[in-house]
């Protein structure tokens, strides 16, 4: 496979998280090399992923032999073995990869990964729980929160915005959020401007600070 390319990603660990990352990245057009120390997992995924190999990611010599340093980006999906997670993350950092993403299963695990130099620490279970809680609120249809306390959501238009332009409803000045776009059934997505009129059944794409998004979703009538 072609390496040392921005579309190539090394994924360490073929558990639920690592295998999901690998299959999704391949579907999006990225070249992926997925590795795991468990031969059974490697054999299982060899029929579903283009590039899979068995390697001990906690061994620097094994990772060098693999050519791990030729990748710009790596994802360490090991979660149940914290020692292996930390060792493999440290090796990838020592090899000079531009971006190392690492899965954490506890806050303490995440803090150690951050202190070791991991560029991005991911908490899949926590993030999935938070996202589900927001969706259960009723108005939100999709929810993405970023590390800096910023969120983008897709939500049903509130009644107070119906049959009015965004300028007239003044949602931004009242709630501190930005209406990025409007999606009407059977029509293409359109970028929002003050003259955009919101109709019943419209979906809004809204961005802003997480706490303001939550307040808007809870208070907008």
From CA 76, how far away is CA 51, in angstroms rounded? 16
pLDDT tens, position by position, 118-143: 999 988 876 666 666 655 556 677 77
What is 150-175 written as a DSSP string? EEEEEEEPPGGGBTEEHHHHTHHHHH
What pLDDT score does 2 carry? 45
pLDDT tens, position by position, 176-220: 999 999 998 888 888 999 999 999 989 999 999 988 888 888 777
pLDDT tens, position by position, 68-102: 999 999 999 997 899 999 999 999 999 999 999 99
From CA 192, how far away is CA 197, in angstroms rounded? 9
Could you tell me if 75 and 21 are in contact, meaning their C-beta atoms sit under 8 angstroms apart?
yes
């Amino acid at each position: 496979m072609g390496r040392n390319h921005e579309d190539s990603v090394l994924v360490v660990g073929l558990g639920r998280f690592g295998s999901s990352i690998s299959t999704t990245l391949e579907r999006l057009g990225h070249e992926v090399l997925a590795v795991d120390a468990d031969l059974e997992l490697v054999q299982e995924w060899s029929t579903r992923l283009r590039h899979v190999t068995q390697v001990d990611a906690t061994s620097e010599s094994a990772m060098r032999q693999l050519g791990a340093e030729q990748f710009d980006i790596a994802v360490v999906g090991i979660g149940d073995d914290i020692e292996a997670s930390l060792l493999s993350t440290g090796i990838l950092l020592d090899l000079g990869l531009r971006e190392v993403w690492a899965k954490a299963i506890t806050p303490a695990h995440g803090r150690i990964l951050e202190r070791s130099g991991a560029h991005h620490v991911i908490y899949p279970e926590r993030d999935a729980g938070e996202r589900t809680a927001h969706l259960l609120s009723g108005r939100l249809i999709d929810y993405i929160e970023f590390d800096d306390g910023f969120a983008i959501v897709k939500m049903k238009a509130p009644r107070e915005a119906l049959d009015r332009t965004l300028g007239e409803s003044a949602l931004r000045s009242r709630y501190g959020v930005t209406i990025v776009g409007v999606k009407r059934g059977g029509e293409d997505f359109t970028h929002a401007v003050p003259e955009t009129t919101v109709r019943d059944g419209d979906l809004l794409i809204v961005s802003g600070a997480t706490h303001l998004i939550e307040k808007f979703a809870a208070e907008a009538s």
